[in-house]
Amino acid sequence: MSTAVVSDTWYMTQRQFMAFLRQPAYLIITLIQPVIWLFLFGALFRKVATIPGFGSGSYLDYLVPGVIVMSAVSSNMWAGMGTLEEIERGTLNRFLITPVRRSALMNANVVMQALTTAFQSVIIVLLGWIGGAHYPGGAAGLVVLIVASSVLGTIFGAFSNALGMLVRERESIIGINTFLLLPLTFLSSAFMATTLMPHWMQVVARFNPVNWALEAGRSAMAASPDWWSVFSHGSWLVLLAAAAVWLSMRTFRSYQKSV
């Protein structure tokens, strides 16, 4: 990569980051929503931890990774809306007329998604800690969880961008997102140990990227981490992220052709 790509990526990311900071309502919702998840689900499912075979001591301990991953999915799956707005407003065309490196425009999206997801994840870890959650895996486990959720966020962000550029309709993004969020979350170990799921759900969960992120995170956060599980689930996540970013770059090129 030439230095121009790096500096262009930096400037484009900076622009998105400033936009994020300048929209306090959006910022506050991003922070409040996980709090609601944490305390709502924490209270609702508190007794789940007492079910034989559940494993974890406190449900809050179990819930923190679940909320982190669910938030990573739910905030990034709307990325396509922002892209659509930039297309409609003419901002994307404005940048395409400048000599900015094309790859920098997409890089900025990926970097921004990863950064905001990591930021959001750190906040949830802290909130959980204030609420009394324990993290037996220590700092290393938390870092793995945050990285895994950021990669997952990148996957959903890139798919959402690709969808936005392909269909150019808000309704499609809204429809697909509302359709996907809860099934993907519940077909993972976010709120319930997979061992307690019906068999068919366990099978589906094995192919669910949301569950890959959770498995990687939980394996690293355990008192005695299972690094093989971290590695294998992490690899699948990274592969899928690469595919998603590649797809969004392809749709970006097809957008340029349709101008």
Chain residues binding another protein by CB under 8 A are 1-2, 4-5, 7-8, 11, 15, 18-19, 22-23, 88-91, 93-101, 103, 256-259
Least distance in Å: CB of 163 to another protein? 15
Least distance in Å: CB of 176 to another protein? 17
Q: Which amino acid is at 26?
A: Y
Cβ burial of 151 (10 Å; 0-12, 13-18, 19+) is buried
Q: Of the two residues 12 and 146, which places its CB atom closer to another protein in the complex? A: 12
Least distance in Å: CB of 80 to another protein? 17
Q: Of the two residues 15 and 170, which places its CB atom closer to another protein in the complex? A: 15
Least distance in Å: CB of 162 to another protein? 15
Q: Of the two residues 14 and 235, which places its CB atom closer to another protein in the complex? A: 14
Sign of the C-alpha dihedral computed for residues 41, 33, 216 and 235 taken in this order: positive
The CA distances from residue 174 to 63, 116, 171, in Å, are 26, 21, 5
| 172's tokens | 């499609």
Q: Of the two residues 195 and 256, which places its CB atom closer to another protein in the complex? A: 256
Residues whose CB falls within 8 Å of the CB of residue 217, separated by 6 or more in sequence, listed in order: 65, 68, 69, 141, 144, 145, 148, 149
